[in-house]
Chains A and B, each alone.
Chain A
Amino acid sequence: MQVSYRWLQDYVDIDINPEELAERLTMAGLCVDRVERPWAGISGIVAGKIVKLEKHPNADKLLICQIDMGGKTIQVVTGAPNVAVGNIVPVAVVGAKLPKGEIIKSELRGVESFGMLCSMSELNIDSSAEAKAGIWLLLDSIKPGTDLVSELMLDDAVLEFDLTPNRSDCLSVINIAREVAAILGKKVKLPKISYLESKEDIADTFAIDVQNKELCPRYTAKLVQGVKVGESPLWMQHYLRSVGMRPINNVVDISNFVMLEWGQPLHTFDFDTLAGGKIVVRSVKPGEKIVTLDEEERELPQNTTLICDGEKAVCIAGIMGGMNTEITQATENILIESACFDMTAIRRASKALGLRSESSQRFEKGIDIFTTHIASERAVQLLVNLCNGVATKGMLDSWDDAGEPYVCIKLNSAKVNAVLGTSYDPAQIKDVFERLEFGVENQGEDWLIKVPSYRRDIFIEEDLIEEVARLLGYENIPTALPFGEITEGRISEEQAFYDKLVERCMALGLRQVINYGFIGPKAWDLLGLAESDALRKTITIKNPLNIEQSIMRTTLLPGMLATAARNNSRRNNDLAIFERGSVFIPGSEELPDEPMHLAVLLMGRETASWQSVGREYDFYYLKGILELLCKKAKVSNWYLLAADDISFLHPGQGAHIYVNYKKAGYIGQLNPLVGKNYELNGRAYILELNLDLLYTAKSSVFEFSPLAKFPPSTRDLALVAKNDIPAVKVEEEIKRQGGNYLKSLKLFDVYEGIQLEAGYRSLAYALTFQALDRTLTDEEVNAAMEAILNGLQDNLQVRLR
Chain B
Amino acid sequence: MLEKLLVMQEQISKELNKTDLPTSVQDLRVKYLGKKGELTQISRSMGSLSPEERPIMGQKVNEVKDTIEKMLAEKMQELEKALLKKQLKKEKIDVTLPGRVLPMGSKHILDTVTDEIKKIFLGMGYSVYNGPQIESDYYNFERLNLPKDHPARDMQDSFYITDSVLLRTHTSPMQARTMDKLSPQLPVKIICPGTVYRRDDDATHSPMFHQVEGLLVDKDISLAHLKGTLLSFARQMFGEDRQIRLRPSFFPFTEPSAEVDISCFMCGGKGCRLCKNTGWIEILGSGMVHPSVLEMSGYDPTQVTGFAFGMGVERIAMLKYGIDDMRLLFENDVCFLAQF
Contact = CB atoms under 8 A, between A and B. Distances in A.
Are A and B interaction partners?
yes
Nearest to B255: A462
A516 B105 contact: no
A366 B208 CA distance: 32
Interface in A542-579: 542-545, 549, 552, 563, 566-567, 570, 572, 575-578
Interface string B246-262: 11111010011110000
Interface in B239-287: 245-250, 252, 255-258
B97 interface: yes
Interface in A102-127: none
Contact of B165 (A348, A489, A591, A609): A591
A474 B218 contact: no
Q: Interface size for chain B: under 10, 10 to 19, 20 to 34, or 35 or more residues?
A: 35 or more
B333 A478 contact: no
A462 B307 CA distance: 13
A731 interface: no
A611 B99 CA distance: 9
B34 interface: no
A698 interface: no
Interface string B2-35: 0000000000000000000000000000000000
B108 A591 contact: no
B115 to A, nearest CB: 8
Interface residues of A, number: 97
Contacts of A567: 332-334
A503 B111 CA distance: 11
A513 B100 CA distance: 25
A347 B187 CA distance: 41
A166 B128 contact: no
A95 to B, nearest CB: 32
Contact of B134 (A465, A475, A539, A581): A539
Nearest to A164: B250
Contacts of B132: 591, 594
Contact of B201 (A365, A469, A545, A614): A545
Interface string A164-208: 111110000000000000000000000000000000000000000
A27 interface: yes
B105 A420 contact: no
A328 interface: no
B291 A480 contact: no
A539 B219 CA distance: 42
Contacts of A491: 118, 122, 127-128
A582 interface: yes
Given A462-B255, A491-B122, A514-B111, A482 B305 contact: no
B88 to A, nearest CB: 21
B225 A487 contact: no
Contacts of B133: 517, 582, 584, 594
Nearest to B337: A511
Interface in B141-166: 149, 151-152, 154-155, 159-162, 164-165
A479 B228 contact: yes
B197 interface: yes
B257 A466 contact: yes
Contacts of B232: 481
Contact of A462 (B129, B152, B155, B288): B288
B330 A516 contact: yes
B107 interface: yes
B203 interface: no
Interface in A5-29: 26-29
Contacts of A576: 103, 105
Given A419-B288, A484-B218, A611-B100, A502 B330 contact: no
B207 A474 contact: no
Contact of A517 (B129, B165, B197): B197
A489 B103 contact: no
A510 B105 contact: yes
A364 interface: yes
A610 interface: yes
B221 A482 contact: yes
Interface in B217-243: 218-225, 227-229, 231-232
Contact of A513 (B218, B231, B337): B337
Contact of A165 (B124, B152, B201, B330): B152
In this complex, the member of B97, B125, B199, B232 whose beta carbon has the largest number of chain A beta carbons within 10 angstroms is: B125
Contact of A495 (B130, B186, B224, B255): B130
In this complex, the member of B105, B221, B229 whose beta carbon has the largest number of chain A beta carbons within 10 angstroms is: B105
23 contacts: A31-B247, A419-B288, A466-B257, A474-B248, A475-B246, A477-B246, A479-B228, A482-B218, A482-B221, A482-B229, A489-B126, A492-B128, A506-B104, A508-B105, A512-B106, A516-B208, A517-B167, A517-B195, A584-B134, A590-B136, A591-B135, A594-B134, A606-B103
Query: What are the 9 A-B residue pairs with the smallest beta carbon separation, nearest first?
Result: A421-B224, A509-B103, A29-B248, A421-B222, A164-B250, A466-B256, A506-B105, A489-B122, A487-B125
